[in-house]
Structure 1
């Protein structure tokens, strides 16, 4: 029996709606984000979860609490699951970054895995802390089902690495919508099979 990981992105925030860089910014869910998380909690309430882990930021912990309550679980904060720190772009709209830091943004767009904004993190930095966390969780909960709540960039990096994608294209080739559900089955700490990707059917038609 494999170890099953439900990998979830947190629900929407006000900064999500405004298309702002909010990697390390500690913001709560918006009303829409809370609705999305509640819909996912309803979808998963009959599943057997053995543990819930989450990035320690407010938006991820709030999502994780909503999902954990039906199972009588308390989310465990894992700092390694935090989102990319966008450095001096934090809080700015994407359009503002494109115009104000034009050259820096263009270089980053070419290879966001290796390049970081000033005072921020590259994809390499994030994967180096997030992937060992996921592997430890899989090892700790062999043959169980565990839910992880993380972020758009972090989830895309984890999935890209586990499936052997070209990491330079993780932003262009993979989407992670708010409160999206991904399902990964692990036969070992390093061999994963993707069963479900970026599924938001629990709220998209409601």
Structure 2
């Protein structure tokens, strides 16, 4: 039996709705986000979870607490699961960043894995702290089910690395919608199989704008699927 990680992105926040860079900004879930997470909690209530882990930010702690409650568990907080720090872009909308930091944003768009906004983190930085946490969780809960609540960028970087994708393209080729569920099965702490990606079927009927959350300007230029 593999070790199964239920990897979840936190629910929507007010910054999600406004297409702003939340990153290291410690924002709370919106009412819509709580509704999304409540639906996911109902979906996962029948699964036997051995533990729940979360990034130590309000939006992830609240998400993890709602999801853990039916199982009688308390989330364990892991610093390494935090979201990317976007530096001086924090809480700005994507259009504001494209306008006010056009050259910096263009360079970052080409390689967000190794390039960081001024005062922020690159994807390399995030993966260097997040991946060891995931591997440690797998080792600590061999052959069990574990819930991990993190963030859009962090989840995509971890999935890309574990599956051997070109991590430089993580923003363009993978998405993580609010309160989305992905499932990874591990045979060892570094050999994983992706069983489910970015599933939001538990909150069908929530406004469509959440289901069409932007990936990047590259994706917009190429046309949405």
TM-score, normalised to structure 2's length? 0.91
Output the CA distance in 1 between the equivalents of 2:70 and 2:168: 38
Partner of 2:65: 65
Structure 2 spans left out of the alignment, 5+ residues: 207-225
Structure 1 position 174, deviation (Å): 0.2
Output the CA distance in 2 between the equivalents of 1:46 and 1:121: 38
Matched, 1:75 2:66: no
User: Which digits, 9 at most, give the CA deviation of each residue in 1:178-204, with x for residues without a partner?
Assistant: 000000000000000000000000002
2:40 is paired with a residue whose SS is helix
Structure 1 position 61, deviation (Å): 0.3
Matched, 1:107 2:89: no
After TM superposition, list the pairs within 5 Å mapping 1:132-151 onto structure 2.
Answer: 132-151=132-151
Matched, 1:4 2:4: yes
Matched, 1:43 2:22: no
Output the CA distance in 2 between the equivalents of 1:5 and 1:85: 24
After TM superposition, list the pairs within 5 Å mapping 1:1-206 onto structure 2.
Answer: 1-205=1-205
Output the CA distance in 2 between the equivalents of 1:67 and 1:47: 11
Q: Give the total of aligned pairs.
A: 206
Root-mean-square deviation (CA), in Å? 0.5
User: Which digits, 9 at most, give the CA deviation of each residue in 1:128-161, with x for residues without a partner?
Assistant: 0000000000001001100000000000000000
User: Which digits, 9 at most, give the CA deviation of each residue in 1:39-64, with x for residues without a partner?
Assistant: 00000001000000000000000000
Output the CA distance in 2 between the equivalents of 1:205 and 1:31: 15
Structure 1 position 169, deviation (Å): 0.3
Give every structure 1 segment of 4 or more consecutive aligned residues whose post-TM-superposition deviation is greater than 3 Å.
none
